[in-house]
């Protein structure tokens, strides 16, 4: 992504990772995250600038998706959502991925269908919550591969 594509910047400047890559400080304008699971009782999350750390994931599960947003959001086509292997059969949906929040947004009918499959999910009239000790596997499917 170059300067002209940094549509989210009011100043129309490169993002930090774009500037690092164009300055030769990192090999490419890529950021990868290892996010810890509470259930594992580890505090081992990491951020890697310039590439992927292959020791942090199973390379057979790697899915690369194209950013489909002309505005600069990290947006990709999501194929489906499933809970414990039960597909919601949503079909393709544009999805904005944001590592800076714990929230997920979607069309009301999709969100309700998802939470109806999760034991203990609650709705307060505005927001759904799920139990911190959630046991069900919730998977988002990108590029025909489920990411749990």
Which of the four pLDDT bands, split at 50, 70 and 90, describes residue 1? very low
- Name the residue with higher pLDDT: 105 or 5: 105
Return the structure tokens found at 65.
């998706």
Question: What is the pLDDT at residue 145?
Answer: 63
Write phi, then psi, for 74 (nearest 5 degrees). -85, 95
* Calpha distance 126→44 (Å, rounded): 32
Q: Per residue in 56-90, pLDDT tens?
A: 888 887 877 777 777 777 788 888 999 999 999 98
At residue 27, does pLDDT exceed 70?
yes
* Domain at 63-148: CATH code: 2.40.70.10
User: Above 60 in pLDDT, residue 11?
Assistant: yes
Domain ranges of the chain: 1-56, 63-148
- Give 28's contacts (C-beta < 8 A, 6+ positions apart): 21, 50, 51
Q: Which long-range contacts (CB under 8 A, 24 or more apart) does 6-14 make?
A: 6/72, 7/70, 7/71, 7/72, 8/71, 8/72, 8/73, 9/72
pTM of the shown model: 0.65
Q: What is the pLDDT of residue 2?
A: 37
How would residue 8 be classed by pLDDT, with cut points 50, 70 and 90?
low
Half-sphere exposure in the Cβ direction for 54 (13 Å, CA): 2
């Amino acid at each position: 992504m170059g300067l002209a594509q940094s549509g989210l910047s009011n100043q129309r400047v490169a993002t930090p990772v774009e500037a690092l890559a164009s300055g030769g400080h990192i090999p490419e304008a890529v950021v990868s995250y290892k996010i810890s699971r509470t259930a594992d009782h580890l505090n081992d999350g990491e951020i890697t600038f310039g590439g992927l750390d292959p020791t942090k994931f199973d390379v057979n599960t790697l899915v690369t998706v194209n950013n489909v947003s002309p505005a600069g959001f990290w947006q990709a086509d999501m194929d489906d959502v499933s809970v414990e292997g039960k597909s919601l059969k949503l079909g393709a949906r544009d999805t904005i991925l944001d590592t800076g929040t714990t929230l997920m947004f979607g069309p009301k009918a999709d969100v309700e269908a998802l939470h109806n499959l999760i034991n203990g999910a609650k709705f307060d009239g505005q927001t759904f919550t799920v139990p911190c000790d959630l046991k069900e596997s919730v998977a988002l499917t990108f590029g025909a591969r489920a990411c749990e």
